[in-house]
C-alpha cells in the first residue's frame, strides 16, 4: 500500500478540498494536522473558523469545528475554552478578520492572556470576497478595490501584539513555503497553550494566486515581497522579569 504521508487527523472523505488551486491554507492544515497527531489532542481540540476562506475548511480535519461571523472567531473560541478549560482551542482567521474587523477581539484576547491559539492566515487581501484591499496589502498592490495600487497600512500584527504587554505569550510569524518552520512554530504555539495556559499566535504568510492574479513563479515572488515587509521569526517566546512598581516604594 502506498504510504500517503498525510496527518492521521486528516479527514480523507472531505477531499478534494474546497480551496482554490495554489492556495496556502491546505499547507497550513498539513502542519497543524501533524502537530495535532504528535500532541495526541485530536479528540480534545476545537477549531473556530472565521468567515473568510477559513470557512472552506470546516471538515478539513477530523476535529470539532465551529464557524462564526467575520472577525468573531476569537471571542467564540475564548468562550468555548472557558466552558472546556482542558480542551485545546484554535481560532483560524484571515488577516482581514484578525487585523481589521476582528482586531478588537484579538487585542483583548491577548491583553487578557486568554489560553487559546490564534492562527492568522495573511494573504494580503480579503480572499473570500474577491481580493479587496486588506490592512496587510503591500504598497502599490493592485486589488479589486485599489486598482491604481494600495496605499498600504502594513499592519504588523505580531509585533504590535508582542509589544503590548510584558506578560509572557508565544507569538511568531512563518510562511507556507517553509513547512518545517511552520510546523515548528505551530507546535510551540499549541504547547504554549497546553503547558502555560496562555495566549499564543502564529501569523502564516500564505499564497493567494487567485486574487493576486499570479502564475506559479509570480506567486513565489509575491510571497517573497511579503516576507520583506513582514519578517518571519519568533517575536516573544522568553519570559521577561516583571517591572517593579515604583509607586509602591
* Minimum CB distance to ligand TPP smaller for 10 or for 126: 126
- Say whether 167 sits in a helix, a strand or coil: coil
For residue 169, how far is the Cα from the chain centroid?
15
* Minimum CB distance to ligand TPP smaller for 95 or for 114: 95
When asked if residue 198 is in the footprint of ligand TPP (CB under 6 A), the reply is no
Q: Distance between CA atoms of 162 and 160, rounded to whole angstroms? A: 6
213-221's contacts with Cβ under 8 Å and 24+ in sequence apart are 213/142, 216/22, 219/22, 220/177
* Minimum CB distance to ligand TPP smaller for 41 or for 47: 47
* Minimum CB distance to ligand TPP smaller for 117 or for 137: 137
When asked if residue 52 is in the footprint of ligand TPP (CB under 6 A), the reply is yes
DSSP annotation of 244 reads P
DSSP annotation of 226 reads H
Per the CB < 8 A criterion, the answer to whether 75 and 110 are in contact is no
* Minimum CB distance to ligand TPP smaller for 45 or for 210: 210
* Minimum CB distance to ligand TPP smaller for 115 or for 157: 157
Per the CB < 8 A criterion, the answer to whether 78 and 106 are in contact is no
Q: Distance between CA atoms of 171 and 94, rounded to whole angstroms? A: 16
Q: Distance between CA atoms of 58 and 64, rounded to whole angstroms? A: 9
Among positions 60-89, residues that touch ligand TPP (CB under 6 A) are 69-70
Q: Which of 96, 115, 157, 158 binds ligand TPP (CB under 6 A)?
A: 96
Residues listed for the chain: 249
Q: Which of 97, 115, 157, 158 binds ligand TPP (CB under 6 A)?
A: 97
- Say whether 127 sits in a helix, a strand or coil: coil
Q: Which of 31, 32, 51, 169 binds ligand TPP (CB under 6 A)?
A: 51
Among positions 132-151, residues that touch ligand TPP (CB under 6 A) are 134
When asked if residue 209 is in the footprint of ligand TPP (CB under 6 A), the reply is no
Which residue number places its CB atom closest to ligand TPP? Answer: 94
When asked if residue 53 is in the footprint of ligand TPP (CB under 6 A), the reply is yes
Query: Which residues lie near ligand TPP (CB under 6 A)?
Result: 51-54, 69-70, 94-97, 121, 123, 125-129, 134
Amino acid at each position: 500500500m502506498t504510504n500517503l504521508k498525510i496527518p492521521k487527523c486528516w479527514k480523507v472523505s472531505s477531499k478534494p478540498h474546497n480551496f482554490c488551486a495554489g492556495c496556502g491554507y491546505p499547507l497550513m492544515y498539513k502542519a497543524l494536522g501533524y502537530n495535532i497527531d504528535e500532541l495526541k489532542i485530536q479528540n480534545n481540540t476545537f477549531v473556530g473558523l472565521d468567515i473568510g476562506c477559513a470557512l472552506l475548511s470546516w471538515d478539513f480535519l477530523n476535529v470539532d469545528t465551529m464557524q462564526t461571523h467575520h472577525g468573531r472567531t476569537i471571542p467564540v473560541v475564548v468562550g468555548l475554552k472557558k466552558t472546556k478549560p482542558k480542551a485545546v482551542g484554535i481560532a483560524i482567521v484571515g488577516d482581514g478578520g484578525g487585523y481589521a474587523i476582528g482586531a478588537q477581539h484579538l487585542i483583548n484576547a491577548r491583553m487578557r492572556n486568554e489560553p487559546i491559539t490564534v492562527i492568522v492566515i495573511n494573504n494580503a487581501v480579503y480572499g473570500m470576497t474577491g481580493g479587496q484591499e486588506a490592512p496587510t496589502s503591500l504598497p502599490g498592490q493592485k486589488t479589486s478595490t485599489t486598482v491604481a495600487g494600495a496605499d498600504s497600512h502594513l499592519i504588523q500584527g505580531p509585533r504590535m501584539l508582542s509589544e503590548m504587554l510584558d506578560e509572557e505569550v508565544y507569538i511568531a510569524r512563518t510562511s507556507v513555503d517553509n513547512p518545517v518552520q511552520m510546523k515548528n512554530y505551530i507546535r510551540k504555539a499549541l504547547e504554549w497553550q497546553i503547558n502555560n495556559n496562555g495566549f499564543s499566535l502564529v501569523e502564516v504568510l500564505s499564497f493567494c494566486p487567485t486574487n493576486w492574479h499570479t502564475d506559479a513563479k509570480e506567486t513565489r515572488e509575491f510571497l517573497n515581497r511579503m516576507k520583506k515587509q513582514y519578517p518571519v521569526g519568533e517575536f516573544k517566546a522568553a519570559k521577561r522579569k516583571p517591572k517593579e512598581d515604583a509607586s509602591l516604594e
